[in-house]
Amino acid sequence: MKKSFNFNILLPLLALVTTLLISKLIPDSAVGYGSIMWTPLLAGATLIFSLLIIFSLKFSRLYKVLEHKSPLLAVAILFLTLWEFLTAKTAILPLPYFPAPGQVIDVLVTDWKLLSTSAYYSLKMLLTGYVLGALAGLITGILIGWSKKCNYWLAPLQKIIGPIPATAWIPIAMTLFPTSFTASVFILALAVWFPVTVMTSSGIANVNKSYFEMAQTLGADKTYLIFRVALPAALPNIFIGLFMGLGMSFVTLIVAEMLGVKAGLGWYINWAQGWAEYKKVYASLVVMALIFSTIITLLFKIRDRVLIWQKGLIKW
């Protein structure tokens, strides 16, 4: 029996047409709201979505995706419509603090070189600091969780240094390290190190003792017990620490870039704000959202692959 057509699929198309009509029929409240890319973008999106609807009638998988995502897309498009109405059409939210959505799109298109360069520097710093902090956290976490002697010496250090916000170390780091890049990497690594250490050590310390006894009866040595028994059993906790560290690293990255670094998205926001170019601030926030969301999605994919038995337990 053929399934009846779900008219919810047409909602994004109706929202796009409404946005296009409002954009063309209602004049801007001021000259400063002009946009080059907004109308072509809306027209292009309307054309693409019309084609997708036509193809979905032939391909059932595409139809199911559109059926599921259409209400969400329609609300997102209507949000942009409301944004344009409150800024460009009525100036209820005034310039320069609230640019129209078309102006933000213009910045993404015309200033893509500087935005790309800033995003590259941010990613370079983020990944370097995150990897170093995660490795340091794993090592100290294993030592604290496995060895009573290491726990005696390292646990107090962790309890004293860990709770201090990483950003509080910025003045000291800027003095100790030769460049602002290395100082920022140190701050980022410190922000990641603490949650990874805590979750790794607690994960290893709470591994069921029967796992070790079983492995020892089969002749496992100390190295095998650590890396083939304790560490895999602690992986759910370790991933929680990695997620916590990732969130901390995002915050620390932007603060560090705003205070001392000479490149990156945080620097770009600070620079644009200084010139009251808030449309560039919003554009950099869009780029940040895309980058950070992609990184978290990748980490979830890795987690689902490594912890296959917990796949889908926590969704993103």
Six token digits for residue 310: 């917990």
Token representation of residue 75: 């609300």
Residue 220's pLDDT is: 82
Is residue 2 classed as helix, strand or coil in its secondary structure? coil
Residue 219 φ/ψ region, left for φ over 0, alpha for ψ in the -120 to 50 degree band, beta for the rest: left
Confidence (pLDDT) at 313: 60
Residue 259 pLDDT? 66
3-state secondary structure at position 46: helix
pLDDT for residue 44 is more than 90 = yes
Q: What is the mean pLDDT of the chain?
A: 88
CB 153 within 8 A of CB 296: no
Work out the number of other CB atoms within 10 angstroms of the CB of residue 219. 7
For 308, residues 6+ apart whose C-beta sits below 8 A from its C-beta are none
DSSP state of 164: S
- pLDDT surpassing 80 at residue 1: no
Question: What is the torsion angle, in degrees rounded to the nearest 10, for the CA atoms of residue 57, residue 59, residue 65 and residue 66?
Answer: -20
State the DSSP string of 213-275: HHHHHTT--HHHIIIIIIHHHTHHHHHHHHHHHHHHHHHHHHHHHHHT-SSSHHHHHHHHHHT
Band the pLDDT of 17: cuts 50, 70, 90: very high
CA atoms within 13 A on the CB side of 151: 12
For 188-243, write each residue's pLDDT tens digit.
999 999 999 999 999 998 888 888 888 888 888 888 888 888 888 889 899 999 99
Query: Is 275 within 8 Å of 199 (Cβ atoms)?
Result: no
Q: For 251-274, what is the mean pLDDT? A: 83
Q: What percent of the chain has pLDDT over 70?
A: 96
Residue 99 has what pLDDT?
92
> Largest alpha-carbon pair distance within the chain?
81
Degrees, nearest 5: CA angle 141-143-146: 100
> What pTM does this model have?
0.85
C-alpha distances out from residue 115 to 110, 162, 263, 280, Å: 10, 33, 10, 9
Is the Cβ–Cβ distance between 203 and 233 less than 8 Å?
yes
247 or 29, greater pLDDT: 247
Average pLDDT over residues 161-178: 86
* Mean pLDDT across 234-261: 86
- Has residue 3 got a pLDDT over 70? no
Measure CA 95 to chain center: 28
Residue of higher predicted confidence among 313 and 227: 227
CB 80 within 8 A of CB 39: no
**DSSP alpha helices (H): ranges in the chain?**
11-25, 38-56, 60-84, 101-110, 112-146, 148-161, 170-176, 180-205, 209-217, 222-224, 231-233, 235-259, 265-274, 278-306
User: Region 277-306: what's the mean pLDDT?
Assistant: 91
Note the pLDDT tens digit of each residue in 123-166.
Answer: 999 999 999 999 999 999 999 999 889 989 988 888 888 888 88
